[in-house]
Amino acid sequence: MADLLEVKRISMLFGGLAAVNDVSFTAGKGEILGLIGPNGAGKTTVFNIVNGFYKPTKGEVLFKERRISGLKPHQVCRLGIARTFQVVKPLQRMSVFDNVLSSAFLRAKGRAEAEGIATDAIAFTGLADDRDVISKGLPLGKRKKLEISRALATQPEFLLLDESFAGLNPHELDESIEIIRNIKARGITVMIIEHHMRVVMSISDRIVVLNYGEKIAEGTPGEIAKDPLVVEAYLGEERSA
């Protein structure tokens, strides 16, 4: 598999604190890559670096063999990387449809085309019935879907999903897993941050594990589950457990 995204030895220092320290990984085209780790491990920081909110203190990020670290988020998005936020950021006083329409303009030539893209995107995530609801009033599960629809409307090749499953009920969880499988089926590469082990183990092709800003493991879900370092990071050392 050709590497779509290459993260090369990135570090991110805030003051003296290394939120991310010398982390490298790659994401191949068409795969679902999981990013897991305990709270504060630096997962969202990695997303913020890939998406352009932060410029890494050291290291670089390549997308389709082009250096993207240092670009602004809107430039990164134009190149084909979209993201969702852990703390959802709906455009509150806009309807669901208008939210998605706003991002659909990115690659549309006119309003009609943008409306087409937006309609597809909300149908894809099952929000079609809520298209005229003002997003302020949406329950969390639907807000998470709105985030995904909005990201999809920019027609990305690579999608960063930051805890799109947190706080969902079991039914919503199943729906979202289905949505992500469908995104993969569309040929979009997905990278997800997830705390829900059942979800991340079942849908990821590969998983990268962070702890205290450092990569401690990488591999298939089966390998990760048996990795002693990972078990230690999550459950503590055997003796003290």
Partner 1 sequence: MPFVILAILAALPLTGLSSYAMHLVILVVMWSVVGMAWNLLGGYCGQVSFGHAAYFGVGAYTAGILYTKMAISPWWGVPLSIPVVALFSFFLGYIVLRLRGPFFALATLASGEVMRVTAENLVDFTGGTLGIMIQERTWVEKTWYYYIILLVATVTFVLVKKLAESKLGYYFVAIREDQDAAESMGINTTLYKTLALCISGCLTGAAGAFYMNYMGYIDPNVVFALHDISIITIMIVMVGGVATYWGPVVGAVIMVLLAEWIRSIPGLGTAHYTFFGILLIIIIIFLPNGIVGDFPKLKRLLKLQKA
Chain positions 46 to 75 lying near partner 1, rule: CB under 8 A, are: 51, 53, 72-75
Q: Are strands 214-219 and 66-67 parallel, antiparallel or unpaired?
A: unpaired
Cβ closest to partner 1, residue 85 vs residue 224? 85
Residue 103 in contact with partner 1, rule: CB under 8 A? yes
Q: Give the helix ranges, DSSP H, for the chain.
A: 43-51, 73-79, 96-104, 111-124, 140-152, 170-185, 197-203, 221-226, 228-235
Question: In whole angstroms, what is the distance from residue 213 CA to residue 165 CA?
Answer: 22
Q: Are strands 17-28 and 3-14 parallel, antiparallel or unpaired?
A: antiparallel
Candidates 18, 33, 36, 83: give the one binding partner 1 (CB under 8 A): 83
**List of residues 6+ apart from 150 with CB closer than 8 A:** 84, 99, 100, 102, 103, 121
Stretch that binds partner 1, among 13-21, 96-104, 165-173, 215-223 (CB under 8 A): 96-104
Candidates 56, 90, 180, 230: give the one binding partner 1 (CB under 8 A): 90
Residue 98 in contact with partner 1, rule: CB under 8 A? yes
Residue 106 in contact with partner 1, rule: CB under 8 A? yes
> SS3 for 33?
strand
Stretch that binds partner 1, among 17-25, 32-40, 85-93, 185-193 (CB under 8 A): 85-93
Task: Kindly write down the DSSP assignment for every residue of 206-236, as one continuous string.
Answer: EEEEEETTEEEEEE-HHHHHH-HHHHHHHH-
Cβ closest to partner 1, residue 45 vs residue 154? 154
Chain positions 112 to 171 lying near partner 1, rule: CB under 8 A, are: 114, 150-151, 154
Is residue 183 within 8 Å of 190, Cβ to Cβ?
A: yes
- Paired with 63 in beta bridges are 5, 66
Residue 176 in contact with partner 1, rule: CB under 8 A? no
Residue 30 in contact with partner 1, rule: CB under 8 A? no
Q: Rule CB under 8 A: which residues touch partner 1?
A: 51, 53, 72-75, 77-78, 82-83, 85, 89-94, 98, 101-103, 105-106, 111, 114, 150-151, 154
